[in-house]
Amino acid sequence: MLGFSIYVLRWIVSGIVMIPIMQFFEPYLSLWANLLVTQIIGSFIFFFIDKTIFKHINAMTPSSDS
């Protein structure tokens, strides 16, 4: 449950971080194009954060190998 809570917190932070980027593109792009471009930019920003989160979540999960 801790891993999920961390991921939810990351999701909220990403929304807040992406607002200025969407506002920047708003005069130049339609809503859907803005959303697409912003999501691509967000994927570059949050790829490494997500990788770290999932590494820690996997470390907390008991192995089924035994």
Structural domain contains residue 20: yes
Please choose, from the candidates 5, 36, 6, 4, the residue with its C-alpha nearest in 3D space to the C-alpha of residue 18.
36
The answer as to whether 13 is a domain residue is: yes
Q: pLDDT for 9-42, tens place per residue?
A: 888 988 898 999 999 999 999 999 999 999 999 9
Q: Give the domain extent around 8.
A: 2-58
- 66, part of any domain: no
- Residue 63: the pLDDT is 62
- Asked if pLDDT for residue 64 goes beyond 60, the answer is no
pLDDT band at 61; cut points 50, 70, 90: low
For residue 43, tell me if it sits in a domain: yes
Regarding predicted confidence, which is higher, 1 or 21? 21
Closest CA to 22 of 5, 39, 3: 39
Instruction: Determine the pLDDT at residue 10.
Output: 82
**How many domains in the chain?**
1
Q: Percentage of residues in the chain with pLDDT exceeding 90?
A: 39
